[in-house]
Each structure stands twice: as structure tokens, then as C-alpha cells.
Amino acid sequence: MVTALLIVHGLVAVALLGAITHQTLAAWAPANARKTSFFARFRSVPSAKFANAVVVLYVLTALLGAIVYLYFKIDIGPALERDRHWQALGLFDLKEDFVSIGLGLLPAYWLCWRHPLGDPPGRTCDALTAVLAFIVWWGFLVGHIMNNILGFGS
Amino acid sequence: MTVASVLRKFAFAYGPAFAVIYAVARARGFALMTVYPSLGIVLLGMHRSRDVADPVLDFLAPEMWWYGWTATAAIGALVVGLVAALLPDRWMCRFWSGWLWVIPCCAMIECVYLAIPWLRR
């Protein structure tokens, strides 16, 4: 059951990673009219259309992660402490902190993309998206590190 | 005051407030609850296993404060957001929109600072 939850958590995280990466690149490096390369096509998506998906996927990923975290604390955490993986545990602590802060940002992020022509001015929307993208990438990579330390099913 | 402006004031106050309250809760240990997953119990407030058990038996009842810190921040930011939503629209003009991402970034840096003992062990 926990393994299934962890896999679903990972799959939803992959979808979130794709959506937020598309949106961030489209916001910060919009493609010109001639989309000649793969990278240009990758960042030529309509950014605002991703906001709803990002919010739903972020909340879903965080919820699944919060459930899996209970089992992590019982089964994985003590083993990592026993083997002195302090840096990995520190990185994981940061992951949970960043994810929480990202949760708090979601209402402002959503509203930003809902009203792109009004407030807030400047690149606030893009900056918020970049912060969320950093959090998602951090969470994804650290999650992978934690999973790989002990190995699947160990 | 339109619904859109009320929503905007709420959301733009909620994000930075959440980040600040979370960082303070994290640093000061203001967890709304402590979860003991191995025992299946939740206690209000911040508790440490070592308050009641031998330190070497800490692994038997690992405590989790992350849920408590998040709940503290969510409730605190909700109050701040509701208060901000009631403020006149003209007050929003004085709010630099950059705080929306600068404050969370500062909170994240503070979390890194708090994690340094783990990273340098």
C-alpha cells in the first residue's frame, strides 16, 4: 500500500514537474514566432493555462507526500539515522519546509495568472512561478535521493 | 470593494504571512500539534519524545512537527489574510508586489540556516 502511494506520489510529481517547468520557461524565455528548435517549442506554451493544473497537482503531490511521510518517519528515518546519512536528512528537512512555504504561495500564484494584465505589476508572476519551480525541482530531486539511498523495497 | 479585490488582498497577504509564520514556528518550535506516527497519536502543542522517555529509546516514538508547523502557519496566515481582505483598496497601492516572492525566499533561506547543523554533521 505504501509502495503504491509512493509510486503515485512520484508520478503526480513528474506531471507537476513538467507543467511548472513548461510554465517557468515560457514565462522567462518566451519563444519567438519561429519555433525552430525543440527548446523553442518547449517554451512556447501559453503559461496562464498551466496555473490550474499546477495548483491541483501541487496540492495533490503535497497531500500524498504528507501521507507517505508518516511511513517514512517510522521505517526509513531511523535507518538513515543509524547509517549516519545526516546530510540527506537535512536536505529532506529542507524539502518539507520548502513544500510548506510553496503551499502558502499557491493562492497568490493562482490569482497572479488569473489576472495577468492587472495587478501585480512587473514580473511578480514570473518570479512566483520561478520560486514554485525551484521548490518542485528541489522536492523531486531530494525525494529521489532519499529513495535511492536505501533502494526500492529495502 | 469587489470580490476580486478582496480575493487579491487575501491571497497577497496570505503567501508572505504563511512564509513568515512558518519560519518563526520552525525556529521557535511553535507547532500546533505533534504527531507520533508509530503510536498513532496526535498531541496538541510541541512535544519531544525525550520529555517522557529515555533518550536512547527515542527511535521507538519518533515525533513529527512538520504537520504542526504547517498548521500553525496556515491558521496564522488565514487570520492575516482575512484582516488584509477587510482593509481599504488604497492600502494595496502601498504594498510592493515583489514582497510576494522576496519574503518566501527569505523564509527559505532561514530554513536553510536552521538545517545547517544537519548538513555539517
The answer to whether B66 contacts A87, with C-beta atoms less than 8 Å apart, is no
The answer to whether B121 contacts A73, with C-beta atoms less than 8 Å apart, is no
Q: pLDDT tier at A151 (50, 70, 90 boundaries)?
A: low
Interface confidence (ipTM) of the complex: 0.89
The answer to whether A69 contacts B64, with C-beta atoms less than 8 Å apart, is yes
Lowest-pLDDT choice from A33-47, A57-71, A123-137: A33-47
pTM of the full structure: 0.89
* A152 shares contact with chain B (CB less than 8 Å): no
Could you tell me which of A128, A138, A27, A46 has the C-alpha nearest to residue B11?
Answer: A128
The answer to whether A115 contacts B74, with C-beta atoms less than 8 Å apart, is no
**Letter string b/e over residues A53-75, b meaning 16 or more CB atoms within 10 A of that residue's CB:** bbbebbebbbebbbebbbbbbbe
Over residues B39-57, mean pLDDT: 74
Of A79-83, A118-122, B17-21, B112-116, give the range with the top mean pLDDT: B17-21
* B7 shares contact with chain A (CB less than 8 Å): yes
d(CA A97, CA B28): 14
* B73 shares contact with chain A (CB less than 8 Å): yes
- Mind telling me how many Å the CA of A57 is from chain B's nearest CA? 18
pLDDT of residue A153: 57
Could you tell me which of B114, B81, B79, B121 has the C-alpha nearest to residue B100?
Answer: B81
B60 chain-A contacts, CB cut-off 8 A? none
Over residues B51-56, mean pLDDT: 56
Q: pLDDT tier at A64 (50, 70, 90 boundaries)?
A: very high
* B35 shares contact with chain A (CB less than 8 Å): yes
User: Which residue of chain B comes nearest to A78, CA vs CA?
Assistant: B59
Could you tell me which of A50, A54, A124 has the C-alpha nearest to residue B8?
Answer: A124
In chain B, the number of structural domains is: 1
User: Which residue of chain B comes nearest to A124, CA vs CA?
Assistant: B98
Share of chain A above pLDDT 70, in %: 86
- Mind telling me how many Å the CA of A82 is from chain B's nearest CA? 10
Q: Is the pLDDT of residue A113 over 90?
A: no
Could you tell me which of A123, A100, A133 has the C-alpha nearest to residue A17?
Answer: A133
The answer to whether A104 contacts B104, with C-beta atoms less than 8 Å apart, is yes
B107 chain-A contacts, CB cut-off 8 A? 101
Over residues A72-76, mean pLDDT: 86
Residue ranges of A 15-34 with Cβ closer than 8 A to chain B: none
Please spell the DSSP secondary structure of B31-95, one letter per residue: -SEEEETTTTEEEES---GGGTS-GGGGGGS--B-HHHHHHHHHHHHHHHHHHHHHS-THHHHTS
Please spell the DSSP secondary structure of A101-139, one letter per residue: HHHHHHHHHHHHHHSTTSSSPTTHHHHHHHHHHHHHHHH
Q: Is the pLDDT of residue A119 over 60?
A: no
pLDDT of residue A140: 94
Could you tell me which of A148, A54, A132, A133 has the C-alpha nearest to residue A92?
Answer: A148
Q: Is the pLDDT of residue A117 over 50?
A: no
* B61 shares contact with chain A (CB less than 8 Å): no
d(CA A126, CA A110): 12
d(CA A111, CA B12): 9
Please confirm whether the linkage preceding A120 is cis (ω < 30° from 0).
yes
Q: Is the pLDDT of residue B113 over 80?
A: yes
Count Cα neighbours of B39 within 13 Å in the Cβ-side half-sphere.
Answer: 14
Q: Cα-flanking dihedrals φ and ψ of residue B34, to 5°?
A: -120, 130
Conformation bin of residue A115: beta by default, left when phi > 0, alpha when psi is -120 to 50: beta
d(CA A3, CA A8): 9
3-class SS of residue B34: strand
The answer to whether A73 contacts B62, with C-beta atoms less than 8 Å apart, is yes
d(CA B37, CA B106): 31
> Residue B43's domain spans which residues?
3-119
How many CB atoms neighbour CB A92 within 10 A?
A: 23
The answer to whether A87 contacts B73, with C-beta atoms less than 8 Å apart, is no
Over residues B96-111, mean pLDDT: 92
Name residue B85's amino acid: A
pLDDT of residue B117: 87
